Chain A
Amino acid sequence: MRRKVMTAADVVAELRSGMTVGVGGWGSRRKPMALVRAICRSGLTDLTVVSYGGPDVGMLLAAGKARKLVYGFVSLDSIPLEPHFRAARQAGAIDVAEYGEGMLQWGLYAASCRLPFLPTRAGLGSDVPRVNPGLRMVRSPYDDGKELLAMPALRLDAAIVHASRSDAHGNAQFLGPDPYFDDLFCMAADRAYLSCEKVVPTPELTASAPLQTLRIQRWMVAGVVEAPHGAHFTSCAPDYGRDEDFQREYASAAADPAAWAQFRAAYLDQDEAGYQAAVAARRAGARLD
């Protein structure tokens, strides 16, 4: 069986500028931040980013990687508004396709089922069709004849998601309370890359956790990256919660260009090991205070 373990740099090397990339997780919860950081360090540009958005969107915008956003919301959860997202929107600096949360799910599901669209009530009567003039209606061919919104498939060139555990082949496990829509992101993508807290031998996946935690199967996955604390500073229950203190530092830095330059120098202008070391040193410093 093919082993798919690779590095974050290997993942970035398989991506191209201009691609449509889906990002798993939800808000500031279990985001594949190690892979996001690797993209931020790369030469990639002009990405279309599809996400239930959190700091993944903010970081990619701050690094100038995204040309277009496709989203239902962008939020840091405990901090409702994402500062980089706000700045980019208010500068008119980014193309957007804003959909209802359920519409986004339907678009990913249509793509994963290889259908051109799925019908939905969500969005009818709202301004979502006004700001997405490409959206079309569809009439039921049955006796009810109802006119519904036809949510187009959101096909992805690539998806990145973060799981709790995975084997070397991409059979992945979510130990937290919510798998979010990561399996849909993987199935909607030509190639899906999965980072995880730990790569384990296959038998370990079911040694201590129920079968239902095995949400992602190897046929969905092109590459596996072991990235401990790879969702930091978003949550990855039960291994760790959101680093609220770090998120506050991120959000206040993001609101001010000089502070952001400092933040970037302290944490982001280095590889993943450097980032994690800086975070650990920060935490140790906080304990000494």
Chain B
Amino acid sequence: MTSAVTRAEVCAIACAEAWRGDGEILASPIGLIPAIGARLARATFEPGLLLTDGEALLGQGTWAIGAQPEVIEGWLPYRAIFDLIYNGKRHVMMSPSQIDAYGNVNISAIGDFRRPKAALLGVRGAPGNTVSHPVSYWVPRHTPRAFVSRVDMVSGIGYDRAAAAGEPAAQYHELRRVVTNLGVLDFGGRSHRMRLASVHPGVAVDQVRAATGFELEVPHHVPVTREPSPAELLLIRSVIDPDGRRDREVGP
């Protein structure tokens, strides 16, 4: 018997789908739900993906959150990750603190950069990632504070900035999708503006609109995010996240 599918499990599937079709590249999930999604994608429909242990080892097989892979297939210290990024064979899913309609994101500082209201991590790899290879985002709490009309410090660049900065910035720039606790968004709107691609089961379109601090493009028909198959559910619940950490990150 299986209990009802939780919101966290739908989010994990929506994250997994980000890597569909990517083939033999490095999937770099930052955070718990993206990590579940990436392992699920490789265990099912995208077996060619490469995954790290979160540090410098590439592992084979499917291992649980908090555990270590049984088989090591490669060595990927930061130096090699940077080379791989410049080479482009990577698709990262990061968690921004702010994101705008074109996909510009901020993980550096809220408010004036010189004296921020809140100092965050710093721009980290975001400037290089977004001009080098596909990037997706995971936002665990979809709110107007996260989805803003203008981000305070552009760390990873969106479609408008990429176009304005010229070919070296735009050539390899590609934002795939934004997964949130409410739905999935992509950049298929006019001039690559953010568009609602699906709402999670039980979420109304107006709920997503109200939680977004800019005008969201909403197509006539908005599909519902697919639920995991029984086999996928079994993988999530028994193999990848047996401790149920996912439901503590995303409420029902």
Contacts and interface: CB of A to CB of B under 8 A. Distances in A.
A156 to B, nearest CB: 18
B128 interface: yes
A127 B154 contact: yes
Interface in A83-133: 85-86, 89-92, 98-103, 105, 120-128, 131
Nearest to A71: B122
Interface in B95-131: 108-109, 113-128, 130-131
Contact of B78 (A26, A86, A92, A100): A26
Contacts of B57: 177
Contact of A98 (B78, B108, B165): B108
B157 to A, nearest CB: 4
Interface stretch (B37-45, B79-87, B186-194): B79-87
Contacts, number: 131
Interface string A143-186: 00011100000000000000000000000000001111100000
Contact of B169 (A75, A100, A121, A128): A121
B77 A180 contact: yes
B166 interface: yes
B121 A81 contact: yes
B162 interface: yes
A252 to B, nearest CB: 18
Given A81-B121, A178-B78, A147 B168 contact: yes
A100 B113 contact: no
B109 A125 contact: no
B168 A100 contact: no
A37 to B, nearest CB: 24
Interface residues on B, range: 35 or more
Contacts of A127: 108, 113, 153-155
A80 B153 CA distance: 18
Interface residues on A, range: 35 or more
A128 B123 contact: yes
Given A102-B85, A121-B168, A126 B55 contact: no
A53 B123 CA distance: 12
Contacts of B79: 105, 179-181
A106 to B, nearest CB: 9
Contacts of B82: 101-102, 105
A127 B152 CA distance: 9
B249 interface: no
Interface in A24-64: 26, 53
A85 B119 contact: yes
A72 interface: yes
B180 interface: no
B115 A90 contact: yes
The CB with the most chain B CB atoms within 10 A, among A71, A126, A127, A177, is that of: A126
B164 A125 contact: yes
Interface of A: 26, 53, 71-75, 80-81, 85-86, 89-92, 98-103, 105, 120-128, 131, 146-148, 177-181
Interface of B: 55-57, 75, 77-79, 82, 85-86, 108-109, 113-128, 130-132, 153-157, 161-162, 164-169, 172
26 contacts: A71-B122, A75-B121, A81-B119, A89-B116, A90-B117, A92-B115, A98-B122, A99-B127, A102-B82, A121-B172, A123-B128, A124-B165, A124-B166, A124-B168, A124-B169, A125-B157, A126-B126, A126-B130, A126-B157, A126-B161, A127-B113, A127-B153, A127-B154, A128-B155, A131-B113, A146-B168
